[in-house]
Amino acid sequence: MTDNVVRCPKCDAANRLPVVASGRPRCGTCHEDLPWLVDVSTNEFDAVVRQSTVPVLVDLWAPWCGPCRMIAPALEQLSVQRAGALRVAKVNVENEPAISARLDVRGIPTMVLYVGGDEVARQVGALPADRIDEWVDAALSAPETTRSTRSGASS
Amino acid sequence: MVFEETIVLSQPFDQVLEAVKAAFAAEGFGTLTEIDLQATLQSKVGKTMDRYTIVGACNPELASRAIDVEPQIGVLLPCNVVIRESDGDVIVEAMDPGLMANVTGSDDMAPIAADARELVSNALGRLSAMAVDGTQQL
């Protein structure tokens, strides 16, 4: 398992975060909720999606994709604004083709939102930051019965 | 398999269509074809659908290099860019030129596909500015 180093937005302390873990990461220095934005590999994907106690936004992207570069800062911002309430997991489809194949991703960027291990919403194509925010809000506030129940995590 | 990159825009369809052509022109792609699929399918089979235009963008220098390496590559040319309406938005989708290298499996095609990929990505990057703040970087 790999770790990611995240700086605390409040006190700027560097914190090492595991990719796979449950709970809400907090800064070891000031105990503020930390933004949880991690690069995820194929081996880690199921555990990241299933073990998270907060919703997980999976961003499927590639380095050569212009629209993917457009939304990268917005997702980083989202992980800061929703620290403790949302995890952002980035999947590079060039390195992890097995994940994009399993999720049947044909266009990038594709954002998939998981709650409790189940896919609840999917957005294909880059959106401005405010519309990504609205999309997440709408998906999380939708009644469970109206959400898509297709699970992207294998059992 | 991932084969296209996508942007969702909220500007009017015709504005996006012109912006797409301008963004690709700025990267050296001319508009070889422009197919109004909505009008075509309406007249041919009476289909009612949202607006849907396919722009065939061609960079002559890249096309020339690609055909020198693999004459059959024409089946993948020009670079198709789809502009279509969906749920009040306008979606722009461009084929990943990296497919040219994947499909042919040719080592000689790989650098050409990489160059094409970079230019298409740059063109979509120009459109991204339009998505973010309504302006277009040309």
Could you give the ipTM of this predicted complex? 0.88
For the cut 50, the answer to whether the pLDDT of residue B115 exceeds it is yes
B residues 93..122 contacting A (CB < 8 A): 93, 96, 98, 117-118, 120-122
Does residue B138 contact residue A77 with C-beta atoms inside 8 Å?
no
Give residue-wise pLDDT tens across range B3-14: 899 999 999 999
Distance CA A26, CA A29 (A): 9
- Name the pairing type of β-strands A118-124 and B52-58: unpaired
Greater confidence, B83 or A64?
B83
Distance CA A55, CA A48 (A): 10
- The closest CB to that of B91, out of A62, A109, A125, belongs to A125
- How far from the centroid of its chain's Cα atoms is residue A60's Cα? 9
Is residue B124 less than 8 Å (CB to CB) from chain A? yes
Q: What are A27's strand-pairing partners?
A: none
- Name the pTM for this structure: 0.88
- How far from the centroid of its chain's Cα atoms is residue B7's Cα? 11
- According to the model, what pLDDT value does residue A155 have? 34
Tokens describing residue B135: 């302006």
The three-class DSSP label of residue A22 is coil
Q: Which of A8, A27, A30, A65 is catalytic?
A: A65
- According to the model, what pLDDT value does residue A42 have? 96
Residue B138 — very low, low, confident or very high, per pLDDT cuts 50/70/90?
A: very low
Q: How far is B128 from chain A (nearest CA, A)?
A: 6
Tokens describing residue B38: 């909505």
Output the average pLDDT for chain A.
88
- According to the model, what pLDDT value does residue A144 have? 67
Give residue-wise pLDDT tens across range A88-146: 999 999 999 999 999 999 999 999 999 999 999 999 999 999 999 999 999 999 876 55
Does residue B55 contact residue B21 with C-beta atoms inside 8 Å?
yes
- According to the model, what pLDDT value does residue B14 have? 97
Q: How many A×B Cβ pairs under 8 Å?
A: 75
Share of chain A above pLDDT 90, in %: 67
A68 catalytically annotated:
yes
Q: Which of A63, A125, A66 is nearest to B119 (CA)?
A: A66
Give residue-wise pLDDT tens across range B88-107: 999 999 999 988 888 888 89
Count of residues in chain A: 155
Does residue A32 contact residue A136 with C-beta atoms inside 8 Å?
no
